[in-house]
Structure 1
Amino acid sequence: ADEATYNLHIIVRFELEQALLAQDLAVGDLPAAWREKYQEYLGVEPRNDADGCLQDIHWSAALIGYFPTYSLGNLYAAQFFEQADRDLGGLESLLARGDFAPLKHWLNEQIHHRGQCYTASELVERVTGQPLSHAPLVRHLREKLGPLYGL
């Protein structure tokens, strides 16, 4: 998966986990179900199981049920990035110059300093003035990938 498709990958994994846990899907049927979901959501089929349901260690290590937190992290990161960009007056130019100090200071003051004082939902509202939203991530993906793919 890449930045554009990673959240769809997470949805595939989560839906298959739910089916496995509900015993609606047998483990032996997982490779075929994975291929079907990938075709449905991403329009591609993995070449083999190593590129499909066995592509990482999560399930083989019995790590089940937390994968959606990766998508949550993407949502929070995009929303915090937009706010840092507004507060710092052009984050991209700072980063392009290799000047990470303002961002580090912003993160320390806005995020790290407040660790375990608020729930994630409370923190994102306090920092950005808005509840968690998909919109910043969608904007980021469109701005970054739109020109590449002519979208």
Structure 2
Amino acid sequence: MAPGDTRLTTRYRDEKFTDALYGTMHEAGHGLYEQGLPKMGEFYGTPLADDISLGIHESQSRMWENLVGRSLAFWEWALPHAQRVMGSGLERYTPVDLFRAVNIVSPSHIRVEADEATYNLHVMLRFELERALVSGSLKVRDLPGEWNRRFKDYLGIEVPDDKRGCLQDVHWSFGLIGYFPTYTLGNLYAAQFWETIRGQITDLEAQIRAGSFAALKGWLNTNIHAHGRRYRAGDLCKMLTGRPLEADPLMRHLEARARAVYGV
């Protein structure tokens, strides 16, 4: 499979193979954070037993989903297991094939199925529309049309129906106005934490390749989860990475992925 070949990606998007896998890893990241919080003993019921922010919470889920789960090292470990479960359908593919397939950049309608490079455009769209709705400059009845217009402008594809447009997420129906930016904050925090983690766990890729995730989980438990709400999110980021939150680590990650997939 040559760099940029989308055949395998299209096939498994249709079968919802990768959607199910990465959705599971995403939610597992949330669960690991909750399990790592100091909820027992003297801190029970106090802010020290709670998460810092939704941005940090999403950093844990997006880290496991993307920085671990979409890496070549992960597929070098996971592919034999996937082949045993799925049978002959995966036998002719290599870890490099799967790595390239799950990292193809291709605009799509559904946020949770979006690749890393286009994902934050989905968040930007929603945040802009939320601000317009709250300010009153956009009426609810006009939301579908404005969604479709901006979506075509940002991602270059037409929206076929509201199911794949403004009704696809549960957040607004739940009243979670303002939640979507926490996904982008999570991407930013995850990439910046990841650079620090790789500097401190120097054989991290080899461990992932061997299916050993204990050192990574231990680092997250010790440096993020165990603090509960002792620090503000920005303060924790600066304490762990030596810098305020910035976009450069995420850009370096996305550029490295694109080079590996497309050979550019």
- Structure 1 length-normalised TM: 0.92
1:24 aligns with 2:145: no
CA-atom RMSD in angstroms? 1.4
Q: 1:16 to 1:149 in 2, by over 3 A?
A: farther
Structure 1's consecutive aligned runs of 4 or more residues displaced over 3 angstroms after TM superposition are none
Partner of 2:200: 87
- 1:148 is displaced (CA, Å) by 2.8
Equivalents in 1 of 2:236, 2:167: separation in Å?
36
- 1:113 is displaced (CA, Å) by 2.1
Partner of 2:181: 68
Equivalents in 2 of 1:99, 1:122: separation in Å?
30
1:2-151 correspondence runs (5 A): 2=114, 3-149=116-262, 151=264
Q: Match for 1:119: what amino acid?
A: R
Equivalents in 2 of 1:93, 1:38: separation in Å?
40
- 1:45 is displaced (CA, Å) by 2.0
Deviations 1:48-100 (A, max 9, x none): 11101111111122221121111111111111111111100032222111111
Give aligned pairs, total: 151
Q: Match for 2:206: what amino acid?
A: S
Identity of aligned residues (%): 52
Higher RCO (CA 8 Å, separation ≥ 6 residues): 2
- Structure 2 length-normalised TM: 0.54
Equivalents in 2 of 1:133, 1:90: separation in Å?
25
Equivalents in 1 of 2:206, 2:249: separation in Å?
19
Could you tell me which runs of 5 or more consecutive residues in structure 1 were left unpaired when the two chains were aligned.
none
Partner of 2:70: none
Could you tell me which runs of 5 or more consecutive residues in structure 2 were left unpaired when the two chains were aligned.
1-110
Equivalents in 2 of 1:118, 1:86: separation in Å?
23
